[in-house]
Structure 1
Amino acid sequence: MARRDIEFDAEGVTLRGWFYPGQGASGAAPTVVMAHGFSAVKEMYLDSYAEVFSAAGLNALVFDNRNFGASDGEPRQEIDPWAQVRDYRHAITYATTLPEVDGNRIGIWGSSYSGGHVLVVAAIDRRVKAVVSQVPLVSGHDNFRALVRADFIAGFQDGFNADRLARFQGDPPAMVPVVAEDPLAPSALPTPDSWRWFTETHKLRAPSWRNEVTLRSVEMFTEYEPVSYIPYISPTPLLLLPAVNDVLTPTDLAIAAFEKAREPKKLTILPGGHFDAYVKGFEPSSTPARDWFVQHLTR
């Protein structure tokens, strides 16, 4: 069966996506709930992961984050990490109402920013029975300081404060590019591989992606600390997939966070950098995720 379009209510905001039935499944089957990372839309290779999970007999429910892609929500292009965490939970609730879904066998998958979200969701929502976190953001505070030179941080904070005052006075939120060709130019994700992947994937697969987010999204990024939830994921099985040469969500931060997790847990290091998991490193990233869900959701 081919995927179908879905939409569901998230406390007044309609979120939209795809549902992939598990191939060969008879009756209600295990289901993986999935959303993308910072500013990305579902067409940016989430369909590829969903197809792998579906081929293994797992349902996959993929949705666009609020304010992005096919989903509703205002202001457009704003990323509130806690709203996105709640939306994962709304998606789980929606999934449990579908006849194809066994609500007692729900897994969650996230990558990059949503790799952080699934750590939080797995810690606070016991409907989740397995979690895969790929190249995750684990600490907004530490990650921001890994990406931004120390002498630039005060300038960012001045910008945050100026934007806050402007919004108070009735102005629309200030916007900033997600990526820029010059890594020293103002952008939310200031690495050369971010520029390449987003611009190439936008042209190849995702015309709805826009190269802008609210400046407030970057401020909320700096405040977000999924690492503080990691010890509470147990006894839900956790698979963490950092990349060996990740310069966007640094490898050392992810591995240090993994050390805070309790059993059952597994660490698999992916080849390449942050974005290789989606393209030339797709098989090394999708296979262990698939196997983890099959192991923990189908027995």
Structure 2
Amino acid sequence: MHAYTVEPLYVKSGQDVIAADFYRPKTEHKPGVIIMAHGLACLRQFKLIQFAKRYAQAGYAVVLFDYRYWGGSTGRPRELVSLQAQLDDWHTMLMHVAQRKSIDNRKIVLWGISLSAGYVLEMASENKNIQAVMAHNPFVDGAESAKQYPLQMLSKALKVSSQDYMGAKVGMLPRTLPIVAENELCFVPTADAYQGYQSIIHPDYYWSGEIPARVFFNFIRYRPIQNLRRIAVPVLYIASKNDSLIPLEISREAATNIAPYVEYHEWEMQHFDIYHGKWFEKAVSVQLEFLNQHIGVG
């Protein structure tokens, strides 16, 4: 087990600054590095630190960052989810990490969960500087996930999204929707999602639980599954059999598209279980095996 330090990292992205934590293991060799960011509307402190610590103890460097508009990063309006801006932030962090002298830039791994797992798979389909990807419950097909959305709520959600989109064009304050809620209009209207978010949010960090509604349209149109056949690097893909957000059939189709580069796992868990208890321990064990096989600490 390696000792490690955690250093603040600030990286320019357009007019804004991305805040990150740089986990640096104490090793004789330049370590490989894992770049991590969260899923929908979360801060880096929402349970990702527990993963980062385990990788650093195993001898891997980690860069764990907040998207623009979130957490320690700058940008307004606060708590805006822009798929394109977040993808741009991934590209910015990848370029920054590749230029750092303290790590082995031939060993860069992207780590994502849910929405960010969709991002890292898309990145792997178009980028040659990535050596491996770890994707957990990836959001790969917004059109299919939208079919999980209650039909009686869909027209209302689209209406609010449209109003927020048009209002933003003329400088109006955002119209927001809750990420999760009990018995009201929200982005993820499933009981396990409500409990899941409650289980990962960190009370020491501000989180309103709402985001501008304009992104709803973009979720439906976001379909990284269309590009997965281009991936030619090792991918660890973990799917949940009892996932109410990501249809299992879509995960299987995505994994088939990535073959022969994919190591695919299906576990008897729900979407948020991977953050907790035995599923977290199982995930870390499988992840470290994958890393040691394809990246290595030496």
TM-score category, normalised to shorter length: over 0.9
Name 2:216's counterpart in structure 1.
Answer: 218
Name 2:154's counterpart in structure 1.
Answer: 153
Which ranges in structure 2 are unaligned for 5 or more consecutive residues? none
Q: Which digits, 9 at most, give the CA deviation of each residue in 1:115-136, with x for residues without a partner?
A: 1101001111111000011011
- Cα distance in 2 for residues equivalent to 1:164 and 1:256: 32
Query: Which structure 2 residues correspond to residues 184-195 of structure 1 after superposition, within 5 A?
Result: 185-195=184-194
Which ranges in structure 1 are unaligned for 5 or more consecutive residues? none
- Cα distance in 2 for residues equivalent to 1:258 and 1:152: 31
Helix, strand or coil: the match of 2:272?
A: helix
Query: Which structure 2 residues correspond to residues 77-92 of structure 1 after superposition, within 5 A?
Result: 77-92=79-94
1:261 to 255, 258, 263: 258
Cα–Cα, structure 1 residues 26 and 205, in superposed 2: closer, same or farther, change >3 Å? farther
Query: Which structure 2 residues correspond to residues 1-299 of structure 1 after superposition, within 5 A?
Result: 1-23=4-26, 25-146=27-148, 148-182=149-183, 185-202=184-201, 204=202, 207-234=205-232, 236-280=233-277, 281-298=279-296
Helix, strand or coil: the match of 1:101?
A: coil
Q: Which digits, 9 at most, give the CA deviation of each residue in 1:154-207, with x for residues without a partner?
A: 33323333333333343122111111022xx111111112211222433x5552
RMSD between superposed Cα atoms in Å? 1.7
By how many angstroms is 1:61 displaced? 0.6
Contact 1:41 1:206 in 2 (8 A): no
By how many angstroms is 1:79 displaced? 1.1
- Cα distance in 1 for residues equivalent to 2:103 and 2:205: 31
Q: TM-score, normalised by structure 1?
A: 0.92
For 2:273, the aligned partner's letter is: D
Q: Which digits, 9 at most, give the CA deviation of each residue in 1:40-69, with x for residues without a partner?
A: 111111111111111221111100111111
- Cα distance in 2 for residues equivalent to 1:270 and 1:250: 14
Q: Select between 63-72 and 161-170 the one with higher mean Cα deviation.
A: 161-170
Cα–Cα, structure 1 residues 4 and 169, in superposed 2: closer, same or farther, change >3 Å? closer
Q: TM-score, normalised by structure 2?
A: 0.93
For 2:209, the aligned partner's letter is: N
Contact 1:180 1:195 in 2 (8 A): yes
- Cα distance in 2 for residues equivalent to 1:177 and 1:142: 21
Contact 2:178 2:210 in 1 (8 A): yes
